[in-house]
Structure 1
C-alpha cells in the first residue's frame, strides 16, 4: 500500500528527505544517552559523585521519556504534529544546556528529565507521522527502514562521544546535543504538517473511536481522557504489551551485559565495545530483513516470527548462563539472536497498534512508547535486583521477556 494521496508531501521533497528527518527524530532517545555514556566516569570524578549516583541520570531520562510521551501523543492528535515536536525540541535544548552548565549530579538528573520530556515529542510523534503518511504493511515496511537508519546512532555515538570527551571534556557533549537539536529543529520545518485536518481538533462524524469532540482545546482534553478507552482496546494493548515485554529484555541487556562480559567473563572493555556494536548491527539487519519480509508474508506473521525468536533465544540464554555452557560465547550468540528480533517485533507491533484505531495515532504511539520504556525501566531494575555475581539473572530476565512477547503475539494471531 502506498503513501496516502491526501497527505503526500510536496513533490520537491524526496522520500529520502522525509525519511531522513523522521529517522533523526526517532533517534533522539539513543543519541541523548549513547552520546554521553563514555563521559560518565569523568562526570562522576569531576562532580565528586557518590557511587551509583551518576547512573541515576539514565534512570531519570527513562522516566522522563515514559511520562513525556503520554503528554505529547494526545496533544498532537488535537493540534497537529509539527508544533508539539518543535516545542519538545526547545525543551530538549533547554535540558541539554542545563546539563552542560550543572555543577552537581542532582542538577544533571533534573535537567536530564527535562531533556527526556522534550525528546519524547520527537520519538512518539515521528512514529505518528509515519501512520499519517502510510498504511498497513507499507507502514511496517517504512517503520523498519527508518529504524534501520536510526540504529546508526548508537553504533557511532559512543565512539564520537569518547573523542569529544578526550579533546574538550564532558560538558562539550551537551553542547553538541544542543547543536544537534538546533539542526533537527530547522530540518523539521522543511516537512509539511501530516495530521489530516479532518482529524485535527474535531470529531469525525460517526467514527466510534474518535477522541476529539470539537475545537483544539476540547480535542486535547478528550484525547487525554481517551487513554482509558485505549487501555480497553485489546488489539492496541496486545501490540503494546509485545513491545513492553520485549523491552524488559532489551534494557536488561543494556544494564546487565557490561557486568556479564567485563566483570564475570573478564573481557576487556574494548572487546565489549565490539560486542555492543555487533548487537547494534544485528538490530539493523533485522529491520532490513523485516522491511523485505513484511511485504511477502504480512505484518502479523513477521511479528509472530519475532516473538517466537525472542522466546527461543531467551530460553537458550537462560540455559547457557545457568550452566555456564560455552563461556562468553554461550552468552554472546543467543544474546545476538535475541536483540536481532527487534527488527521483527518493534516496527510490526507499533504499526499494528497504530492501525487498530483511526483518529488517535499520537495517543496510541504515546501509550506504546510509555509501556515500551516502562518495560525498560522494569527490566534494567530487575536484572540489578536479581544480581548474584553470575550471568544467570540476565538469562532469566531475557527468557521471561521473550516468553511474554511470544504470548501476546500469539494472542494477536488468535484475534486477527
Structure 2
C-alpha cells in the first residue's frame, strides 16, 4: 500500500533524502575528506546543528565527528539535530538571544537569506583569506545558492537535482521509444499528448509544491521557459514576459485537455509519485531518490517499468537544484574553527550518498567513480545544476504568491498573462518592503 504523504516541512528538511520511508540505516566505516588544520587556539567545543538527520543517520554523523576529533586534539563537537527546518530558524534566534549560539548551523535556502539580510551569519570571506579557493572546491550551482548580494554566506553540504522518472510501459503503449525519453520541453508536451491519447493516462504530473525537485513555479519559469525571475538590480519581478505567458498557457491547456494530470494544480511531491506508482501517469520530474520509494511501494514487476533519465533541457540551460548549507553565526564562539569543521563535514558526503542518492556539495566527490555505477546516481552528477530560487528573505511568501497565481491559471480562473502580472505585482510589494 502506498503510504500517506509526508508533511511538507519534513520534505523540505530532508530534501534529496525525501520522506522518512527513504531513510535507510547507516552502516560500515565512514570516510571523509580532511580539511586544512583548524586554527590553533587551545581547546574548543563546537556546537553543530543538523536538520532531521538523527533518524537513520546517527552512525554516519557520529563517525564523522569522531574522526574529526581524533584529527584535531582539543576540539570537541557537540551535535544537535533539529527535527525540521522551521524549528532551525526559531531555535537559532532563541539561542543567539540567550547567549548560547551554535557554531555550525545546517540551513535551507528558505532561511539563509533571512540571516544574511540581518548580518547574523558570517560571509565566508571574513573567515578565510582564500575564499576564492574555497569556492572553487564546490559544485558551482550549489555554491552559487549561498551567494547573496555578491557575498558567499554558506558552505554547501549536499543537494538534489531534478530528473525525469517515467513509465516505459506507457511509453510503448503510446508508440514512443522508451530508450529515447523526451530531451526538451517541446518533446515532453508531445509525449504527454501521445500517452494521454493512446492510453487514457495523463502524460505527466508537474506539481507546484515549493520543494526542489517537485517542479516548483520558479523552475517552470526560469528553468523551463528561461525567463529571469528578478530584474538585474533584484528590486522588481521580471517574469511576466511573453515567453512565460506562452509556457504557462501550455500548462493550462494540458490540464484542461487531460494530458497534464490535474494533480499538478494542488498536489505535492508524493501525490505525483503515487500516481506514477499506480500507472496513471507517464512521467514525473523528481529527484532520483523517488526510485527507492517506488521500489519499496510497488511489486517487482511494476517497478521494472520505471526508468530514469536526465531532466529535459529547458531554456534556462540547467536542471533545477536544491541543497542544504552550513552557515556560521556571527555570535559563534569559535567561527574560524567552525568554518574548518563545516568544510571537513562537507567532505563526508560520499558515504551519505551511498545511503541515499544525494548530490555532494564538493566537486571532487561528485567526480568519484561511484556516481557512474547506476543510472540513479549518474543523473545526479552528469547534469549541470542551477539554483533558480530568488535569494530573498521573503522567498516563502514570494513562492506562495506565485503558486496561487499558477493555480488560478491552470484552473482557467485567470488568463496566464493576468496571473503572471498579479504575481509580479505581489513580488514587487514584497521586494519593496524588504521583508
TM band (smaller chain): under 0.3
Hey, which of these two has a bigger chunk of strand by percent?
A: 2
Structure possessing the higher radius of gyration over alpha carbons:
2
TM-score by length of structure 2 reads 0.27
